[in-house]
Amino acid sequence: DIVSFEEYQDKAKRYPDLSEIVEMESKAMHRIIRHQIKGDTKVVEQDLRDIVSEFQKKVDNALEKDAYESRYNLGIAFMEQGLLSEAIEEFKLAAKDPEKEMESYSLISRSFHEMGNLEEALRWAQKSLEKADEGAGSSIALKYELAEIYREMGNKDKAQELYKDVHTWDPDFREVALRLKQN
C-alpha cells in the first residue's frame, strides 16, 4: 500500500500543463476589461439597474397601462428583490385602480420607510389611511405604522396618540401595549 518515492514522482509529472489555458483566460479577461473601458458591454455585464430598466420598458410595452393587477404584482416582486424605487413606480400605477389604491399607497409608504425616507413614508401612509374605513383591520394596521414612523421621527406625542387609538380598537395588536408603556 505504500507508494515508493519514484512512483510518486512519476505520477506528479503526469498532471496536465495548464499554463496555456491560464494564458488564454488572462488574455480574454484583458479583452473584456478593454471593452468595458470603451463602454462596449454585453447585457450580462450591465449594471443591475440597467437590466431592470430594460425589463421595465419591455413590460411597459407588453402591458396596457390599465393592467393594475399586473403592476401591483410587479411592484411586489421588485419590493421582494430590494428594488424599492422600481416597486414604488409600479405601485403608483397600480394605485390608479380604486381596489388597489389603499394597499398600493401602504406599500409605497413601506418602501420609502425601508429606504429611510420617513417624510415620504409618512405622507403615503397618511394617504393610505384616508382610504381605510375607521376601525377596520387595515385602518388599525395603518395607524400603527404611522405611529412607528412618528416614533422614529422623534414625535413621541403624535406616536402615543396613534398607539392609544390602536389600543382602543385592538389592545392585542402587535406590540401596542408595550409601545404605550415605553413612553
Looking at residue 30, its pLDDT comes to 72
Location of C-alpha cell 439597474: 49
Neighbours of 17 (CB within 10 A): 7
> Which residue ranges of the chain lie beneath pLDDT 50?
43-45
Question: d(Cα 170, Cα 140) in Å, to the nearest integer?
Answer: 8
The answer to whether 108 and 78 are in contact (CB under 8 A) is no
The answer to whether 124 and 102 are in contact (CB under 8 A) is no
Looking at residue 27, its pLDDT comes to 77
Question: d(Cα 48, Cα 23) in Å, to the nearest integer?
Answer: 30
Burial class (CB in 10 A: 0-12, 13-18, 19+), 67: middle
Looking at residue 174, its pLDDT comes to 87
Question: d(Cα 43, Cα 59) in Å, to the nearest integer?
Answer: 17
- Compute the residue count for the chain: 183
Interval 157-177: pLDDT, tens: 999 999 999 999 988 888 888
Interval 36-59: pLDDT, tens: 666 655 544 456 666 666 766 666
User: Which three three-digit cell numbers place residue 145?
Assistant: 405604522
The string over 132-158, giving b where at least 16 C-beta atoms fall within 10 Å of a residue's C-beta and e elsewhere, is beeeeebbbbbbbbbbbbbbeeeeeeb
Task: Return phi, psi of residue 47, to 5°.
Answer: -65, 145
What is the value of pTM for the model shown? 0.64
